[in-house]
């Protein structure tokens, strides 16, 4: 396959990269470029989403097997580009001077999205590492984009140092895997890493790689950076961090394990199961005592990664499809919740205290209803969308014989239900705090309502098609 044929498979990414470069040059010359650039980036990302969604049914290798474009990568890319577009739209109603109104902000998100697009199609250790770094570098800068704020700068620095550490672990693991298999391509590794042939050195390499990837999905015990970075980064940036990169890292995780080590499942399944249990426990118990809504959502996302990892631990086709469904639902819930957090405006700035939500049902009924639906969905209470995510990952785990993991999972979801209920209680049962002031624009409100409507009742109707898409996406890995 020639270079041009390979490139033609990356049409959406190419459009994004070239567009972002062009907009970068434009932004340098125009002082008022912020709004135009961000709308252009949204347009580019939505176009890329459409390109990916419409160009279904591809199954090809590009650049001599370094990347693989298949139903799995298309499914993940459509979600990633869509989530990135939403993240840019979220920042447009921010006040001036918070950093996210700079014209670099949408461009960095676009470039990060390109990195994520490469991540989910990476089919080779070197491509995997390059894609992760493309994404991560953009994310480090985004965390610190509000450079006049000490919190934001601190968040960026923490993210960078711990991210570099995790990349180091990943590289070390990858080099061990290369050393023991003599290959970097996933198929070639899979041929050597058979159930009998997996040497101890290879397993060590595998475990290091898993540790590095666990950092990226913020699975416990590699989660420590998450609450600090989420709290410190500007809220629209946090919303972006919590959505698209998690899906990209989870998809990469799935492809690396199922693509490169399908026979060695007995070696990595216990590790993933332990990560899942630890993440569910940390996410559920630590969130109970949080008072800052962004920190709470950080712990909540750690817990959600644990639930998604339950599906990965199953390691079956149904498990991977469960992971994809879970992540799709999770992204919508997360974007919706952060849109609600962005609407928590007070005179003179935004508040992040959970206690400020008190009595929201009296002061702003629609916001209370929207956030209520999203919280019940995050808790996984039927008939909201969050329940279906859990249904499919736990179903896959039970089918794969991991009944104990499913039991721990459902018990943890009951613990997690407590802290989501606590917020519902604050919103609906407590005496009203002063109302939030309404800010400019209606975009956030629309976004939050859309996400809530997808969770209830939308997904009751959409779950069938979503399940079919996720199943065919998962089938591409096997």
Q: What is the nearest approach in angstroms of other proteins to the Cβ of residue 224?
A: 28
Q: What is the nearest approach in angstroms of other proteins to the Cβ of residue 470?
A: 11
**Complex with other proteins: residue 95 or 365, whichever CB lies closer:** 365
Q: What is the nearest approach in angstroms of other proteins to the Cβ of residue 446?
A: 15
Q: Structure tokens of 224? A: 């420590």
Which residues would be at the binding site for other proteins (CB under 8 A)? 361-362, 364-365, 376, 381-383, 387, 391, 394-395, 398-399, 403, 406-407, 410-411, 413-414, 417-418, 421-422, 424-425, 428-429, 435, 438, 463-464, 467-468, 471
Residues in a beta bridge with 44: none
Q: What is the nearest approach in angstroms of other proteins to the Cβ of residue 424?
A: 8
**Complex with other proteins: residue 193 or 343, whichever CB lies closer:** 343
* Reduced 3-state DSSP string for the chain: CCHHHHHHHCHHHHHHHHHHHHHHHHHHHCCCCHHHHHHHHHHHHHHHHHHHHHCCCCCEEECCCCEEECHHHHHHHHHHHHHHHHHHHHHCCCCCCCCCCCCHHHHHHHHHHHHHHHHHHECEHHHHHHHHHHHHHHHHHHHCCCCCCHHHHHHHHHHHHHHHHHHHHHHHHHHHHHHHHCCCEHHHHHHHCCCCCCCHHHHHHHHHHHHHHHHHHCCCCCCCHHHHHHHHCCHHHHHHHHHHHHHHHHHHHHHHHHHHCCCCHHHHHHHHHHHHHHHHHHHHHHHCCCCEHHHHHHHHHHHHHHHHHHHHHHCCHHHHHHHHHHHHHHHHHHHHHHHHHHCCEECCEECCEHHHHCCHHHHCHHHHHHHHHHHHHHHCCCCCHHHHHHHHHHHHHHHCCCHHHHHHHHHHHHHHHHHHHHHHHHHHCCCCCCCCCCCCCCHHHHHHHHHHHHHHHHHHHHHHHHHHHHHHHHHCCC
**Complex with other proteins: residue 224 or 381, whichever CB lies closer:** 381
Q: What is the nearest approach in angstroms of other proteins to the Cβ of residue 162?
A: 34
Q: What is the nearest approach in angstroms of other proteins to the Cβ of residue 442?
A: 13
**Complex with other proteins: residue 147 or 425, whichever CB lies closer:** 425
**Complex with other proteins: residue 108 or 455, whichever CB lies closer:** 455
Residues 125 and 186: their CA atoms lie apart, in Å, by 7
**Complex with other proteins: residue 298 or 357, whichever CB lies closer:** 357
Q: What is the nearest approach in angstroms of other proteins to the Cβ of residue 51?
A: 28
Q: What is the nearest approach in angstroms of other proteins to the Cβ of residue 439?
A: 13
Q: What is the nearest approach in angstroms of other proteins to the Cβ of residue 94?
A: 22
Q: What is the nearest approach in angstroms of other proteins to the Cβ of residue 398?
A: 4
Residues 150 and 89: their CA atoms lie apart, in Å, by 25
Q: What is the nearest approach in angstroms of other proteins to the Cβ of residue 399?
A: 4
Residues 361 and 365: their CA atoms lie apart, in Å, by 5
* Reduced 3-state DSSP string for 216-280: HHCCCCCCCHHHHHHHHCCHHHHHHHHHHHHHHHHHHHHHHHHHHCCCCHHHHHHHHHHHHHHHH
**Complex with other proteins: residue 111 or 417, whichever CB lies closer:** 417
Q: What is the nearest approach in angstroms of other proteins to the Cβ of residue 419?
A: 11
**Complex with other proteins: residue 48 or 368, whichever CB lies closer:** 368
**Complex with other proteins: residue 233 or 378, whichever CB lies closer:** 378
**Complex with other proteins: residue 110 or 471, whichever CB lies closer:** 471
**Complex with other proteins: residue 7 or 407, whichever CB lies closer:** 407
Q: Is 396 left (phi over 0), alpha (psi -120 to 50) or beta?
A: alpha
**Complex with other proteins: residue 6 or 363, whichever CB lies closer:** 363
């Amino acid at each position: 396959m020639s270079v041009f044929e390979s490139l033609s498979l990356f049409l959406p990414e190419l459009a994004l990269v070239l567009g972002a470069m062009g907009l970068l040059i434009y932004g340098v010359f125009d002082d008022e470029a912020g709004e135009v650039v961000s709308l252009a980036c949204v347009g580019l990302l939505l176009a890329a989403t459409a390109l990916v969604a419409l160009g279904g049914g591809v199954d090809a290798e590009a650049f001599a097997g370094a990347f693989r474009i298949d139903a799995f990568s298309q499914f993940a890319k459509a979600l990633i580009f869509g989530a990135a577009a939403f993240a840019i739209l979220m920042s447009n109603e921010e006040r001036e001077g918070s950093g996210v109104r700079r014209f670099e902000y949408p461009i960095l998100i676009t470039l990060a999205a390109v990195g994520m697009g490469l991540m989910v199609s990476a089919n080779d250790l070197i491509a995997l590492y390059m894609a992760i770094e493309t994404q991560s570098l953009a994310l480090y800068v985004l965390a610190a984009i509000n450079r006049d704020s000490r919190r934001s700068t601190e968040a960026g620095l923490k993210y960078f140092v711990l991210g570099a550490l995790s990349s180091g672990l990943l590289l070390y693991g990858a080099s061990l895997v290369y050393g023991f298999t003599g290959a970097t391509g996933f198929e070639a590794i899979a041929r050597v890493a058979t159930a009998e042939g997996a040497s101890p050195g290879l397993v060590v390499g595998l475990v290091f790689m898993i540790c590095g990837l666990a950092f990226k999905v913020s699975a416990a015990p590699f989660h420590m950076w998450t609450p600090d970075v989420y709290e410190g980064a500007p809220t629209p940036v946090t919303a972006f961090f919590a959505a698209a990169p998690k899906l990209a890292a989870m998809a990469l995780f799935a492809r690396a394990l199922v693509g490169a080590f399908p026979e060695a499942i007995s070696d990595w399944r216990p590790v993933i199961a332990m990560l899942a249990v630890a993440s569910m426990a940390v996410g559920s118990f630590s969130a109970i005592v949080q008072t800052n809504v962004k920190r709470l959502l950080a712990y909540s996302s750690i817990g959600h990664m644990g639930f998604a990892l339950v599906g990965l631990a199953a390691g079956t086709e149904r498990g991977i499809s469960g992971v994809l469904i879970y992540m799709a639902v999770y992204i919508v819930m997360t974007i919706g919740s952060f849109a609600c957090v962005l609407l928590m405006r007070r005179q003179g700035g935004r508040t992040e205290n959970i206690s400020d939500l008190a009595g929201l049902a009296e002061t702003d009924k629609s916001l209370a209803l929207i956030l209520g639906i999203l919280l019940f969905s995050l808790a996984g209470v039927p008939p909201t969308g969050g329940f279906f995510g859990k249904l499919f990952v736990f179903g896959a785990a039970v089918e794969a014989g991991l009944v104990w993991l499913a039991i721990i999972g459902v018990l943890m979801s009951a613990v997690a239900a407590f802290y989501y209920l606590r917020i519902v209680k604050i919103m609906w049962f407590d005496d009203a705090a002063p109302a939030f002031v309404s800010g400019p624009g209606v975009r956030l409100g629309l976004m939050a309502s859309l996400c809530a409507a997808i969770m209830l009742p939308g997904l009751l109707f959409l779950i069938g098609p979503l399940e079919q898409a996720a199943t065919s996406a998962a089938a591409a890995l096997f």
